[in-house]
Structure 1
Amino acid sequence: MNETYENRIEKAKWVIQNAENILIGGGAGLSAAAGIEYGGKRFTENFAPFIKRYGLTDMYTSGFYPFPTQEARWAYWAKHILVNRYEPSGTQLYKDIFQMVKDKNYFVITTNVDSQFEKSGFVAEKVFEVQGNYGYLQCAKGCHSTVYNNESLVREMVAKTEDCKIPSELVPKCPICGGNMDPHLRINQHFVQDDEWDELNESYNHFLHESTGKKMIYLELGVGFNTPGIIRYPFEQMTFNNENATLIRFNMEHPEGAKENREKTIAFTENMYDVVSKIMK
């Protein structure tokens, strides 16, 4: 962190250009930097009726709110999914990151569930959304390992929401056990890991294996400490274990890492969009 901003930019540019493989780890801070924020004006403009009725404060904590009925719960969740998964197109920040790595052998592991990587040009078979995806539903009890596309249902729910409730006939029910459905998110022990999840997990592990000893970049983007065991800690460990690796970390609040990796880490606390733009020049 003692290096100048300009030196860190040039160093990051050089190691990316010379890398054989790039593993990207995307966290919540990446989508927030791209403009998909869960609080502030974006929240208040989209959820005013829910804020007035329930006293909700942001989209993240609202996902845990104990709504009184399934009709009320899905009125909120349909809107949440619509504004975070279906309304936004690929954002400029994600598109720039794709341009930065598209000619490299890359793979993505992300805790984000908004499909921004795929929308912005990344090959779907190289994006492991380990925590799920807003675009699908699953049995709330995980009684079977199938997930269901929800776009048409979500749009109908939002269109027919009145008084912060959806019509009872739109409440999704599990086609196997008849119980409640959940968004396909890792919120409890019932998270469904379907065939696609298993295949991408296998692809991720294959990428790690074939990257052993190579000139490797671990590009960590906006990863906090909600689930550090998925991206942050493994990236630190893999950087330490590969003498040819460099960790590039974008994190405004927690750029510090393992002291053993200090000489192999390029950390940025500056605006992510500005940094990526400069690296691409």
Structure 2
Amino acid sequence: MNNQMDLIKSKIEEAEYILVGCGLGFENTESIAEEVIYKPLATIDINGKAKLQEELQDEEAVNWIHQILVNYYNKQNTLEVYSKLYELVKDKNYFILSMNTSELIMQSGLDQSKIVMPCGNEGLFQCSKSCTHNIHLNNEYVENFVGQLPEIIKSIKSGESVKAYLPYCKECNEPLTFNVRANVDNYVEEGYLPQWQKYMEWLSRTLNRKLLLIELEVNFTLPSLIRWPFEKNSYLKNKAFLVRVNH
């Protein structure tokens, strides 16, 4: 193991470019206590999704409120693994390709202009019916919604529908939803395409350079996104080196 670690460290030190692929298993969010995520509802004694369900008896409302609370938490926090990744590559010419969709990576110190998230970004809304390719930052909506949550929950308990508090598409008046591939039938790719173009341009500059490719918890989910391209790059480029790290 020590020999492997020494080899990886030496490859990091000598690399001119570092490309990091973060798989779905890289974010271990199960370790985050639900009561921490539900802290905005502590004043009304709701400390988790089960308690919220008990209070509202409305699955649609519970699911939406839970998504917003998780999103609100992710906008303000990061994970230790992301902080360690930042320390690892901060002085290098790097790019991060992530299959994750949360905003936890954004608070890590990693340069957001060097991150691409093809599977979606929970910091963006799109039309749930994909009637338009427009995307919208959701920071203001999430902050306002969480600030009003005690009153919203009180209204829902009194019989009002959560639909009164959802964001809506200005074109077709259908609800907006998170710009995440797994959430919608028609994923609006405009959320990540500008960054993908930057990634492609960055990758083109690694030709004939010492390129280190690092896979972090990458399995065979969507192998065409990270696993196969990383293998191809390490095979075709004489100065490229591929490292796979799993739990």
TM-score range, shorter chain: 0.7 to 0.9
SS state of the match for residue 76, structure 1? helix
2:6 matched to 1:16?
no
Who is 1:135 aligned against? 123
Who is 1:185 aligned against? 180
Amino acid at match of 2:142: V
1:7-156 to 2 correspondences below 5 Å: 7-32=3-28, 36-37=29-30, 42-43=33-34, 46-49=48-51, 69=60, 71-83=61-73, 85-88=74-77, 90-156=78-144
SS state of the match for residue 189, structure 2? coil
* Consecutive unaligned residues in structure 2, runs of 5 or more: 36-46
TM-score of the superposition, structure 1-length normalised? Answer: 0.71
User: Using the alignment, how far apart are the partners of 1:174 and 1:135 within structure 2?
Assistant: 16
SS state of the match for residue 161, structure 1? helix
Q: CA deviation at 1:230?
A: 0.9
User: Using the alignment, how far apart are the partners of 1:180 and 1:147 within structure 2?
Assistant: 13
Who is 1:243 aligned against? 238
Query: What is the CA deviation profile of residues 132-185 of structure 1, one whole-angstrom value per residue up to 9, with x for unaligned ones?
Result: 211121101222222222233234444233579964321121111111221110
CA pair 114-246 structure 1, distance change in 2 beyond 3 A:
same
Q: CA deviation at 1:205?
A: 0.9
CA pair 210-170 structure 1, distance change in 2 beyond 3 A:
same
Question: Of 222, 226, 247, which residue of structure 1 is paired with 2:221?
Answer: 226
2:153 matched to 1:161?
yes
User: Using the alignment, how far apart are the partners of 1:250 and 1:146 within structure 2?
Assistant: 37
User: Using the alignment, how far apart are the partners of 2:126 and 2:193 within structure 1?
Assistant: 16
User: Using the alignment, how far apart are the partners of 1:13 and 1:46 within structure 2?
Assistant: 42
Q: Give the conservation status (yes or no) of the 8 Å contact 1:157–1:166.
A: no
RMSD of aligned residue pairs (Cα, Å):
2.7
Q: Give the conservation status (yes or no) of the 8 Å contact 2:126–2:179.
A: yes
Query: What is the CA deviation profile of residues 238-276 of structure 1, one whole-angstrom value per residue up to 9, with x for unaligned ones?
Result: 111122211111112xxxxxxxxxxxxxxxxxxxxxxxx
Query: What is the CA deviation profile of residues 170-221 of structure 1, one whole-angstrom value per residue up to 9, with x for unaligned ones?
Result: 1121111111221110124521122x62221111111221112321111111
CA pair 41-117 structure 1, distance change in 2 beyond 3 A:
closer
Would you say how many aligned residue pairs link Structure 1 and Structure 2? 227
SS state of the match for residue 130, structure 1? coil
User: Using the alignment, how far apart are the partners of 1:7 and 1:192 within structure 2?
Assistant: 45
Amino acid at match of 2:70: H
User: Using the alignment, how far apart are the partners of 1:189 and 1:202 within structure 2?
Assistant: 24
SS state of the match for residue 106, structure 1? strand
SS state of the match for residue 207, structure 1? helix
SS state of the match for residue 77, structure 1? helix
Show structure 1 runs of 4+ deviating over 4 A. Answer: 50-53, 162-166
What percent of counterpart residues are identical?
A: 25
CA pair 170-52 structure 1, distance change in 2 beyond 3 A:
closer
TM-score of the superposition, structure 2-length normalised? Answer: 0.80
Q: Give the conservation status (yes or no) of the 8 Å contact 2:75–2:107.
A: no
2:203 matched to 1:215?
no
